[in-house]
Amino acid sequence: MNNAEIAARDLNALWHPCTQMKDHEQLPLIPIRRGTGVWLEDFDGNRYIDAISSWWVNLFGHANPHISRRVNRQMQELEHVILAGFTHEAVVTLSEKLIALTPVGLTRCFYAENGSSAVEVALKMSFHYWKNQGHSGKCEFVNLSNSYHGETLGALSVGDVELYKHTYEPLLLKTRTVAAPDDYYREPGETRQDYAARRFAEMEATLERHGERICAVIVEPLVQCAGYMRMHHPEYLSWLRAACDRYQVHLIADECAVGFGRTGTLFACEQAGITPDFMCLAKGLTGGFLPLSAVLTNDDVYGAFYDDYESLRGFLHSHSYTGNPLACAAALGTLELFEQSDVLGRNRRLARAMADATAHFRDHPHVADVRQCGMILAIEMVKDKHTRESYPWRERRGLTVYRHGLENQALLRPLGNVVYFMPPYVINEQQINHLADVAWRGIQLATKD
């Protein structure tokens, strides 16, 4: 079997996610035969460094032997059981561990199957909490501009990336969008913190004016990943936490992409010293092995649903694979890898290596910004470095970088004109340097006219 054969069969039978299928008339589809560590290998024997952790899920490398053994062992005993009325050891241990690891005050775990469904759970729980407390006038959500929280209709409603949202607008919940404290837009000479404060004034005014109708504010702490890897100062989150308390509004922290060490701390909220009312976890939770998500919340929220059945205050939400034992075993294996070595310490060294390898990108005539938060580093290509005028999206400059990556052992998948690295934590410095070289040459090609 070779690439061409599998690709031909695929294109006869599949419809791929987030893909205009006609692109594959020009763009090769890459069938992967196996993965080891940071490497993916296709059926023709070509290898690619997975610089984007396969949509940000992989933390400790492909086919990680420890997680693999953990899932294997679980598979011999129990593959799945309904989580209503029944339970199992893996889900209990995982819940205890997540409660111990997440910010103080988060004491309950509710499970779902992916990031979007975790966001749906948090939105529904928040609305339902206020209803149970007699505040049925609260039925709106506040989000930040350029945010992303998933593709199901509720999650899409609280996102703001036009490319994914615009078409479906008539179907979506009405959401109040407040300008994000996105560092990229600060004035020359303005500090990140000053800019965050300026932006926060709008959030404060919105909560003050409309707090009575608002269930929750939802944010991606520190990095808006799908929104082109835009970053903000942690203090914004501390101010937001305090304001949510002042105006009796929940704070939902969507850590689906930034959780589990991505930003330098185990959870991004730690850098602001805050505990949200709901924390959504997914992606890296299972180290990239199996789909699983969790929503953590506090005693107050839990207590507002706890009553006699006849009160009909219970949270009657479920998914078939909620708390699946194999996925929980993968999550336990992942957490054990954090326990077994100083992952965050090693990530600090890797993050420095990523910064060093890309320091010269700032001087590139078509690079407006090189930004970094822990193990996420993003490079923004622009048409005009001085005015920061973007390249028109129709030119699809990022695709040139993607193609160049594939020809040079790298899976780089730019978001529009933003080239980024978000690699598995098992990458080494030599591989980081290779990615930087490929990205540099890719950007040269993409911006040459």
Residues found near ligand PMP in the complex (CB under 6 A) = 114-116, 119, 148-150, 220, 225-226, 254, 256-257, 282
Give whichever of 150 and 405 is closer to ligand PMP, judged by the CB atom.
150
> Both tokens of residue 10?
């695929």
Distance between CA 338 and CA 426 in Å, rounded?
Answer: 12
If residue 49 lies in a helix (H) or strand (E), which one and from where to where? Answer: strand 47-50
Q: Which long-range contacts (CB under 8 A, 24 or more apart) does 68-76 make?
A: 68/289, 68/333, 69/333, 70/329, 70/330, 70/332, 70/333, 70/336, 71/289, 71/290, 71/326, 71/329, 71/330, 71/333, 73/329, 74/325, 74/326, 74/328, 74/329, 75/326
Q: Which is nearer to ligand PMP, 152 or 390 (CB)?
A: 152
Q: Which two tokens stand for residue 345?
A: 């310490």
CB of 220 to ligand PMP, least distance (A): 5
Q: What are phi and psi of 329, to 5 degrees?
A: -65, -40
Complex with ligand PMP: residue 182 or 220, whichever CB lies closer: 220
- Residue 283: CB minimum distance to ligand PMP, A: 6
Measured from each CB, the residue nearest to ligand PMP is 115
Whole-angstrom distance, CA of residue 426 vs CA of residue 354? 13
How many beta carbons lie within 10 A of that of residue 195, not counting itself? 20
CB of 256 to ligand PMP, least distance (A): 4
Instruction: Quote the least distance from Cβ 421 to ligand PMP, whole Å.
Output: 16
Tokens representing 374 are: 């822990």
CB nearer to ligand PMP: pick between 228 and 361: 228
Query: Do 432 and 357 form a contact (C-beta atoms < 8 A)?
Result: yes
Q: Select 17 or 170, whichever has its Cβ closest to ligand PMP.
A: 17
Q: Which is nearer to ligand PMP, 42 or 220 (CB)?
A: 220
Nearer to ligand PMP, 143 or 447 (CB): 143
How distant, in Å, are the alpha carbons of 109, 124, 353, 421 from that of 53?
Answer: 26, 30, 17, 9
Cβ atoms of 214 and 178 within 8 Å: the answer is no
CB of 144 to ligand PMP, least distance (A): 11
In whole angstroms, give the CA distance from residue 323 to residue 296.
Answer: 13
Nearer CB in complex with ligand PMP: 148/195: 148
CB of 137 to ligand PMP, least distance (A): 28
Cβ at position 224, least distance to ligand PMP in Å = 8
CB of 434 vs ligand PMP, minimal distance in Å: 26
Lookup result for tokens 């763009």? 27
